[in-house]
Amino acid sequence: MLTILQKKRLLPELLQNSMDIHCHLIHDIDDGPKTLDDSFHLVKRAMGLGITGFIATPHIMADMYPNTPQNISAQYDVLKQHLMEKDCLPKVFKVAAEYMVDDNFETQLNDKNLLLLSDRYVLIEFPFIQIPMNIEFIIDSLFALEYIPVLAHPERYRYFHEHGDFLTLLKQKGCKFQINALSLSTYYGNSIHKSAMQLLDEGFYSFLGTDIHNQLHLDKLSEIKVRKSTEKLIVPLIDNTRNIFA
């Protein structure tokens, strides 16, 4: 009896008419594209892969990218106008931010002036070296203010690879998790890919984002092939992301 091997599908096949809620598209503001033209080509190519909606999420990071809602919004307006002039404006094109949970975040939170993914969802990230000591307080504070935290790429925080019980605690509190599309490959390394697949299998994730910064990211994303078993797990995330944020 012959065993029929299931053919893997390219990830872009699954991204048709999708919504990207984590991407660095705005020029000269963080570690994403440097020029307005770079931004244009990044958006254009991402649209060519089938993504029709974007929420641009520049870093807000006190020590490295001390951006504000004001300068982010101003730079976003420049890019949006440029995309309109180039006849390349996506079906949905919004702006938010990716907030590093650092010493400055609590101040920003208290000011209630956050750039949100939607009316309640706020995209946050943790330091890669160690988890913030006050993270439970921050998460509880977000919920007290009726925000819903979305933790970007939990698979990339290596301290969770051996001590994932804290992610379970965050999930129980109501925190949502967003997987990076590139984590479906070994782009970030084998251990991060393994963590992503484990969290995916255990149902931790609610949303999928690309976290694209440059053309190399799109090169690698366009090459990702997924098994049928993985496809069954990520398609609901793609659909959920579009349904909530588009």
| Model confidence band, residue 112 (pLDDT cutoffs 50, 70, 90) | confident
Is residue 98 domain-resident? yes
What is the residue range of 235's domain?
9-245
Is residue 2 domain-resident? no
Is residue 53 domain-resident? yes
Q: Read off the pLDDT of each residue in 119-134 and give the average, rounded to a whole number.
A: 93
Find residue 234's DSSP bridge partners: none
Q: Which of 49-63, 150-164, 195-209 has the lowest mean pLDDT?
A: 150-164
DSSP state at residue 35: S
- Cα angle 171, 116, 48 (rounded to 5 degrees) comes to 95
CATH number, domain of 219, equals 3.20.20.140
Is residue 96 domain-resident? yes
pLDDT at 2: 41
Q: Say what the pTM is.
A: 0.96
- Cα angle 188, 64, 184 (rounded to 5 degrees) comes to 15
- Cα angle 98, 176, 68 (rounded to 5 degrees) comes to 20
Q: 200 with 167: CB under 8 angstroms?
A: no
What share of the chain has pLDDT > 90, as a percent?
91
- Kind of pairing, strands 51-56 and 148-152? unpaired
Spatial distance between the Cα atoms of 180 and 136, rounded to a whole number of angstroms: 23
Domain count, the chain: 1
Spatial distance between the Cα atoms of 67 and 49, rounded to a whole number of angstroms: 29
Indicate the angle between helix axes 165-173 and 135-144, nearest 10 degrees: 10
Question: How many other CB atoms are there within 10 angstroms of residue 202's CB atom?
Answer: 12
Spatial distance between the Cα atoms of 221 and 212, rounded to a whole number of angstroms: 9
Is residue 198 domain-resident? yes
Q: Which of 131-145, 189-203, 227-241 has the lowest mean pLDDT?
A: 131-145
